[in-house]
């Protein structure tokens, strides 16, 4: 019985890995998967500020300005995640557009909250 369970688990894991491959822009895109770019939680404030400066120099980051829907929480992590995602989305959601010197993370769960919508 344990053998069947591990075989089933292996099959499910393979299916998940295949789905992730196709969602991330693999050789053949069979499914339409939405992805977002956020800042890695382990990123330094210095790296986050660099990411904000870079992304906002190439995209409109008004939504993270005071009064914007993504201003709160007013933190480098939150603002960087929004700015990095704006850049990532505007560049076609390629994995390399979320690298940010290793401080970016592509996710498949929508990070939107309240009125802050990750486009």
Instruction: Report pLDDT for 46.
Output: 98
Contact 93, 101 (CB under 8 A): no
47 has pLDDT over 80: yes
Mean pLDDT, the chain, rounded, equals 86
Contact 106, 20 (CB under 8 A): no
**Domain extents for the chain?**
1-32, 34-119
Distance CA 93, CA 13 (A): 24
Instruction: Report pLDDT for 94.
Output: 96
- Which residues, other chains included, contact 24 with Cβ-Cβ below 8 Å and sequence gap of 6+? 35, 95, 106
Contact 51, 84 (CB under 8 A): yes
Instruction: Report pLDDT for 67.
Output: 98
For 1-45, how does the pLDDT look when each residue is reduced to its tens digit (9 = 90+)?
Answer: 445 555 454 656 555 565 555 555 555 444 568 999 999 999 999
- Which residues, other chains included, contact 33 with Cβ-Cβ below 8 Å and sequence gap of 6+? 19, 22, 23, 108
How do strand 104-107 and strand 36-39 relate by DSSP bridges?
antiparallel
């Amino acid at each position: 019985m344990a053998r069947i369970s591990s075989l089933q688990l292996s099959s499910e894991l393979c299916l998940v890995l295949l789905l992730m491959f196709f969602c991330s822009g693999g050789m053949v895109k069979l499914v339409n998967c939405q992805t977002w770019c956020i800042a890695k939680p382990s990123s330094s404030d210095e790296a986050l500020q660099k990411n904000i400066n870079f992304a906002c120099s190439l995209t409109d980051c008004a939504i993270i300005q005071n009064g914007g829907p993504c201003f709160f929480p007013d933190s480098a992590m939150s603002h960087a995640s929004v700015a990095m995602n704006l850049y990532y989305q505007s560049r076609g959601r390629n994995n390399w557009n979320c690298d940010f010197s290793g401080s970016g993370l592509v996710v498949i769960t929508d990070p939107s909250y309240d009125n802050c919508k990750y486009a």
